[in-house]
Structure 1
Amino acid sequence: MLNHIVLFRRKPDVVANDGLEKSLVERMDALGTQITGIRGWKLSTNELDRPICWGYVLESRFDDTNALNEYLFHPLHQALVADLKPYFEWAAVDYTL
């Protein structure tokens, strides 16, 4: 099993837009049921206001690197990434369980 963890936060130079952010987060959350090969999917919102904290964490699980790559290059994921890029920055970690 491969864990794929992604942290998201609004870009520092982007003005907060609650409606847009809510829509993007809902789309991220829904993606977990829209692409086959995803074995686990949990999107959580940060609860503490500290400078070190990111806004959201996505924890997902895949059978292997091939399954992760199928997700990463899936058209639904690619479309979401294109919409996320102007608003969020992110960092990812992938590791074997």
Structure 2
Amino acid sequence: MIRHLVLFKLNEGVSRDEPRVVAGARGFAELGALVPEVASWETGWNVSDRPVAYDFAINSSVADGDALERYLAHPAHQAAVAPWAEFATWVIADYEI
């Protein structure tokens, strides 16, 4: 099993209540159910105000590396992640569990 973590940082001047950000978060909230490879799926806004904190997170898992590659290439994933490039940056970690 592989855990796929993604942390998003909104760009300077972008707020989470902007319509494009709300739509982006909704797209990620729905994504887990659209991709067969996804074994578990959680998303949410950060509740911490620490300076090092990111703004939004995805915590998911897939069966193996092949499943991760299929998930990343899935059209629903591509469609969900594309808008985020306009208003955020992100980091990822994929590790075996």
Q: TM-score, length-normalised on structure 1?
A: 0.91
Bigger fraction of residues in helix: 2
Mapping of 1:21-40 within 5 angstroms?
21-40=21-40
- 1:88 equivalenced with 2:95 (yes/no): no
String of CA shifts for 1:21-68, please: whole Å, max 9, x gaps.
Answer: 111101001000011010000002111212111011110000000001
C-alpha RMSD of matched pairs (Å): 1.2
Q: Gapped runs of 5+ residues in structure 1? A: none
- Count of aligned pairs: 96
Which 5+ residue runs of structure 2 have no aligned equivalent?
none
Moved over 4 A (4+): none
User: Following the alignment from structure 1 to structure 2, what is the Cα–Cα distance between the partners of residues 57 and 24?
Assistant: 12
- Give the secondary-structure state (helix, strand or coil) at the position aligned to 1:54: coil
Residue 76 of structure 1 deviates from its aligned partner by 1.2
Residue identity matched to 1:15: V
Give the letter aligned to residue 14 of structure 2.
V
* Aligned residue type for 2:42: K
**Aligned counterparts, 1:1-97, within 5 A:** 1-12=1-12, 14-16=13-15, 18-97=18-97
Identity %, equivalent residues:
30
Q: Distance in 1 between matches of 2:8 and 2:82?
A: 14
Normalising by structure 2, we get a TM-score of 0.91
Residue 33 of structure 1 aligns to a residue whose secondary structure is helix
